[in-house]
Structures are given as C-alpha cells and as structure tokens.
Amino acid sequence: MNWQAVSFDWNQVRAFLATAEEGSFSGAARVLKTTQPTIGRQIGALEEALGVTLVERSVRGLTLTEAGRDLIDHMRTMGEAATLISMVADGKSQDVTGEVTVTGTDLLSAAILPGVLKPLRQMAPGIRVRILASSEMQNLTQREADIAIRHVRPDQPDLIARHLGDFRATLYAATDYLDCASRPRTPRDVAALDFVGNADPERLMAPLRNMGVPVRAESFVMSSESGVVAWELVKAGYGVSMQPETLGEAESGIEKVLPDFPSLEFPIWLVTHRELQTSRRIRIVFDLLARGLSDVAKRRSGGD
C-alpha cells in the first residue's frame, strides 16, 4: 500500500459521490444531512488534493468533467467498500430481512447470477432473493422487480442506472460440430455453416455482415426466445451462435469458430428505483451485484 499516494479524505469522496448521484450540491447536502456550502468546500478540497477538476458549474447545473467521469467508478467502489465495512462492524447486515427481486435475461440469470450472489448468504442471510428471468424493462416500471440487469440504459426519470462495464460475445460452436462441418478459415467461410439464433435472428444478420460474414436468414436452422435454450442447442452441436465469452471460454467441448474473429461488446447496466437510497436490503443486493458483475466484465476484457 502506497500511503503517501492517498492525499484525500473519505468525507470529500462521499460528498463528490453524493453530488454525482443526486446531480446537485443541494441534493447531496440533503442525503448527507449537511449544508450545501459544506458539500462545495469538500469537493473543492478533493479537487485540490487530486490536482484535477471533477465537476463543472454552469447555469444549467453541474456536470462531471472527463476526470470526474474517469474517477467516478473507482470512488463508487470505495463507497461500496465503506458501506460493507460499516455493516460488518456493527452487525447490521445480519439484521436486514425481506425479499429483493432481481431481473435479468434467462442466460445471465442461469449462468452468472448464482456465482455473483453467493456471498449474500453470509453477508445478509435474512435477505431472500427472487430471480425473474426476463428482458422486459416494465418489470421495473411496474414494480415487478427491485433491480434489473439490462443491456440498454433506461430513460425513465424514476430509475437509477449504473454502467458496470461491457461483456463481449463472439461466435462459438461445439467442437464435434466443427469437426464434422470442417473449420472455416475466413469470415466468409463461416456463412456456409448452420447457425443457432434467438427469437429474431435477423437482428444479428446486419452486424455479422458488417464483420464479413454474409449470413442469410436460411442459415438459422434453430432458434429460441430463450438464451438458455439457444446455448444448449450450441452445446448439442446444432451450429454456430453469438455467445458471451464468459460462457464460451469456460465450457469444455465449445470453441471459437475463428480464433481471431472480432468480438461484439454489449454494455451491462444495473438499474433500480430511486428507492435504493432508502431501502437497505435493496442497497446491499445492488452493491453486491455491482461488484460481482463488474469483476466478470473486467475478467473478460483483460482488466485483471
């Protein structure tokens, strides 16, 4: 630990985080139960300690500078760690009870969430999690779920969204299938193979064509609305499919169709109601998901 490199105070970071999330000094002062001038002084002191400008003030309000945007995720990690330290120290996480509903695609819910949520049983055993495997955003707006994991940022004003990073996907197929079909050498060769798609496989055709794979609608010999079913079809040897690297690289008997084929990136957004600010059980689950999913994204982007 380089102690000399830490030249700022946690309260200053907390003031900046609250301002970023609330969008104003007054909003930050309200949630932190302090005064607006105090928030301004703390952020000014943090900027001086770091040697960068974090927020820009104008008649339209506050916006994060490029430096502020670069540092916000690191500071959020500090905030989540501070929350956990406080809960562990006073045992409060053990006292939090109730149900939290988390919604995500069926493939993510089945393949990734079990590992990410496992620490919750020790951290806050009184919290019960219900996983709703769905891609519909109305799960949140209609209050069917407390937290959603999505690939697009919502635009509803009553929702809070945090970008956790990007997952990557590329073309995978079963080794047995490629042994029989013969392995392609070029992207154009890939178009001659059978494909496994989702409920609307034509949505994948345009990006594949842009990547040099002139795939046709007739190429999709199997398709399913369920990501889990599509993944099982790939494993069973029905053909090629665009699948997350976090799954493909961990599955024996599955390989990249072309080792050097470029990956598609799709963002991971963690979304909840503004109630997050007042519900401890939702906050605990939200912070755990944020850390776990960010770690998964970093591992697959070479960030570790």
Domain segments of the chain: what residues? Answer: 10-90, 97-303
Q: Name the DSSP letter for residue 206.
A: H
Under a CB-based contact definition with an 8 Å cutoff, are residues 260 and 49 in contact? no
φ, ψ of residue 164 in degrees (nearest 5): -95, -10
Q: Please report, rounded to a whole number, the percentage of residues in the chain having pLDDT higher than 70.
A: 88
φ, ψ of residue 174 in degrees (nearest 5): -70, 140
Render each residue's pLDDT in the chain as its tens digit; 304 residues: 555 666 678 889 989 998 888 888 888 888 888 898 899 999 999 998 888 999 887 767 788 889 988 888 888 888 877 776 665 555 455 568 889 999 999 999 999 999 999 999 988 889 999 999 887 755 666 677 889 999 888 877 778 888 998 999 999 999 999 999 989 999 999 999 999 998 777 788 888 999 999 999 899 999 998 999 999 999 999 999 999 998 999 899 999 999 999 998 889 999 988 766 667 888 889 999 999 999 888 775 544 4
pLDDT number for residue 268: 93
- Is-same-fold flag (10-90; 97-303)? no
Structure tokens of 232? Answer: 């099982």
Tell how strand 147-150 and strand 98-104 pair up. parallel
66-90 helix and 280-300 helix, angle to the nearest 10 degrees = 130
Judged on CB neighbours under 10 Å (0-12, 13-18, 19+), 126 is exposed
Under a CB-based contact definition with an 8 Å cutoff, are residues 274 and 212 in contact? no
Q: How many residues does the chain have?
A: 304
- Give the angle subtended at the CA of 9 by the CAs of 96 and 49, to the nearest 5°: 145
What residues have CB less than 8 Å from 248, skipping those under 6 apart?
170, 172, 254, 255, 256
Alpha-carbon distance of 23 to 43, in angstroms, equals 13
CATH architecture entry for 10-90: Orthogonal Bundle (1.10)
Under a CB-based contact definition with an 8 Å cutoff, are residues 287 and 80 in contact? yes
3.90.1150.10, 3.40.50.80, 3.90.1300.10, 3.40.190.290: CATH of 97-303: 3.40.190.290
